[in-house]
């Protein structure tokens, strides 16, 4: 019984020692536009910019080209951009053509929903952008339309050894 209690106490201490944001990031499992299963945990070791959006969202239409441009600028620098559509299942066929027409060059996953946004601590409004470090821990949550500088400054901070002031954990852009 003492061993069991000791083991339980150790497990509780280890869980408490983990950063709160690491506990709050679920292992996202969705599909890409080709129908292949994708997992957020497969991107560990890379900085991840995870943008939640929808084809019907006007601010998303402004944000996606900006993120696509940043994706090209940061190519080859251990940064991975993913656009997660929260379009309803009946509208998912619109996602690929929309991205293609707009020349958006981001990995795109479908199958997200408002509940997923809430599980990521992002509220219920799109666009919403999450920046994760190489260990999968939250650096910043951007609620509303992310500005170029919001994303760029955090990526530069992470890529340059976290020098300078720590970025804000949450930005509201609405």
CATH number, domain with residue 126: 3.40.30.10
pTM metric for this prediction: 0.85
What digits encode the pLDDT tens for the residues 9-26? Answer: 333 333 333 333 444 588
Confidence of residue 98 (pLDDT cuts 50, 70, 90): very high
Residue 97 lies in a domain: yes
What digits encode the pLDDT tens for the residues 61-79? Answer: 999 999 999 999 999 999 9
pLDDT at 19: 36
Residue 128 lies in a domain: yes
pLDDT at 13: 37
Q: What DSSP designation does 78 have?
A: S
Residue 2 lies in a domain: no
- 3-class SS of residue 102: coil
- 3-class SS of residue 12: helix
Residue 157 lies in a domain: yes
Q: Which domain does 124 fall in, by range? A: 26-173
Residue 41 burial (CB < 10 Å; 0-12/13-18/19+)? exposed
Residue 47 lies in a domain: yes
Number of structural domains the chain divides into: 1
What is the chain's alpha carbon radius of gyration, rounded to the nearest angstrom?
A: 17
Query: What value, to the nearest 5°, has the Cα angle with vertex 77 and ends 73 and 80?
Result: 80
Query: What value, to the nearest 5°, has the Cα angle with vertex 37 and ends 48 and 72?
Result: 35
């Amino acid at each position: 019984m003492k061993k069991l209690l000791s083991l339980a106490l150790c497990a509780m201490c280890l869980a408490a020692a983990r950063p709160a944001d690491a506990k709050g990031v679920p292992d996202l499992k969705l599909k890409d536009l080709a129908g292949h299963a994708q997992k957020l945990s497969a991107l560990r070791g890379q900085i991840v910019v995870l943008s939640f959006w929808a084809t019907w969202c006007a601010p998303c239409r402004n944000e996606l080209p900006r993120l696509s441009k940043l994706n090209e600028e940061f190519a080859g620098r251990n940064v991975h951009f993913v656009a997660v559509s929260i379009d309803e299942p009946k509208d998912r066929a619109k996602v690929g053509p929309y991205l293609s027409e707009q020349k958006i060059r981001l990995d795109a996953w479908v199958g997200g929903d408002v509940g997923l946004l809430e599980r990521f601590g992002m509220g219920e409004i799109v666009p919403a952008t999450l920046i994760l470090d190489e260990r999968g821990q939250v650096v910043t949550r951007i609620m509303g339309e992310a500005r170029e500088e919001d994303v760029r400054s955090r990526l530069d901070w992470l890529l340059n050894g976290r020098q300078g002031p720590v970025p804000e954990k949450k930005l509201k852009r609405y």
